[in-house]
Structure 1
Amino acid sequence: MNQKNYWTPVIISILAGTCIGLTTLLIQEKQKIADFSYSNSVLVATPSVVNIFTQVSQRKKLNTNNDVKHSVNLGSGVIATRDGYILTNHHVIQNAQSIVIALHDDRRIEAKLIGSDPSTDLAILKIDLPNLDSITMGDSNKVSVGDRILAIGNPFGIGQTVTAGIISAKGRNSIGLNTYENFLQTDAAINPGNSGGALVNLKGELIGISSAIYSSTGGSQGIGFATPVNDALDVMESIIKHGEVVRGYLGMDAQKITQTLAENLALPATHGLLVSDITKESPAEKAGIEVGDIILEINNNPSEDPFKVRRLIASLKPGTHISLVGIRGQQSYQTNVTLEKQPTMQRITY
């Protein structure tokens, strides 16, 4: 066998092995960098996060003269579509006479308010500019407690800022901030001015809109809340399409039955929802539901969490038929209810 022909495959094998080894080392090094740096995630997401400046005029009566006091509020927002729709919080733009958007590339433009939804503290703005960087949408249903995330916003108006943390909890619904709550909780630092900003995963995908902090001082104490992106997109779609969020309406209020409540009121059931109020001429009244009834099931599912039931009813379209199983006295019953459109100003939230 020719010596040259003998060594050729050996050399090729050595070179191939070396290349594979180097490639493996590069991949491992890249992974190490990814593990210790969020820079790639930041590069992907930050161009889509904007600063929001609103001007609010307040007329203050001083003796016999009326003085107009101007104040500038700061917040954040996220470019949701390439044609300029922006997601933010309702409280960021509430009572604003003018809204100015400052983009990542230093462009500034006045925004139009398309609509807002105080019940979820969300608002939709619109700007008309070319070459907008819209954020990539994630799926908040796939978020898990313990996932690493980033919060991007404009805290205290000092400029765009990135903080890191994890998802601390999901489905927080009894905070008392909004009518319909389903918050993601995070320990990433969220401060005044972050409201309306982005909560993103490590791919730079939007998973939530930063909404509020739980604090005794007004600053971050490691408990922040964000509206899941799936909920925010539903609100945005409805506002763009209808000018408002169209929700199902039942017209009753109820509280969770606990063991203590059942014993104190001698209730015939230790679980379910106790009806405490019925709105006149509402779907609930038309279906024959009464104060004092115990609702056990809605659409064959146990009804034990009033917050989840509230969100369920609101998520259904007007005209939807639902089935309720309840107890009145010692007698069980089943009734069908046709949901109506929730009135704009309505105290009862079911």
Structure 2
Amino acid sequence: AINPGNSGGALVDLSGRLVGINTAIFSRSGGSVGIGFAIPTSMVQLVARQAAAGGGQVQRPYFGADLQEITSDLAAGLGLDRPRGVMVLNVDPQGPAAAAGVQRGDVIISIDGTEIFDPNGFEYRFATRGIDGTARIGILRGARNLEAQVALAPPPETVPRDEIVIEGRSPFTGVRVVNLSPAVAEELGVRASDGVVITGILRGSIAERVGFRAGDIIRSINDMTVRSTRDLEQIAGQRLRIWRLLFERGGQVRQAVVRG
């Protein structure tokens, strides 16, 4: 059991082998109910290696594709005997997956020989490979079984961050924003896409009162697409009576209306 004071300690199996680092328990009362959480050793080893190398920042490899879980209905439509693998929805044309020949519609069934069942499982196994070298990706493309050697490279800075703080009087006054790139998305733990992401909010600002949070991704304002921090700065400088805001928070797209 994981009890108060165990966090950060070793989680071992019956043979004394390290399997993880304890983090927390699930409990409604504060006492142990037998459900605990730990960081797997594979992830700990990745962080420890990079820390020992003195890089100052943990980097995880960037795959460069959006993935979808294979449901029972989708498996039947694809002619699979059972739900397994993940389907490739979109491929970043500048990413490692595209460079290795991965295509939209491919079904990824394994990584380095280990079978894959869902996007989270693939992303975890790919991320814990570390930087440098390649990962062997098993693919179903129609009736063909293929393999791709995907480079284990850090996420690219495809666009400059161009960090700014919005001033003036608008719902965005007081937000600190950067352009969203794969590298920024990895760093902040948000989905990589076009747009700008809020990295901070000045205390007492209009943006704080509106309810924006760090990590929110600004998509559009009054149907005007926001693709860069300069777009946001330009739109925020307008005198508008009604602000129709479209933004993403925690993977969910939200709408809000604010009066000027």
Q: What interval of TM-score do these two structures reach, taking the shorter chain for normalisation?
A: 0.3 to 0.5
**What is the TM-score normalised by the length of structure 1?**
0.37
RCO (CA 8 Å, sep 6+): is it higher in 1 or 2? 1
Return the index of the structure with the highest Cα Rg.
1
Whichever structure has more helix as a proportion of its residues is 1
**What is the TM-score normalised by the length of structure 2?**
0.47
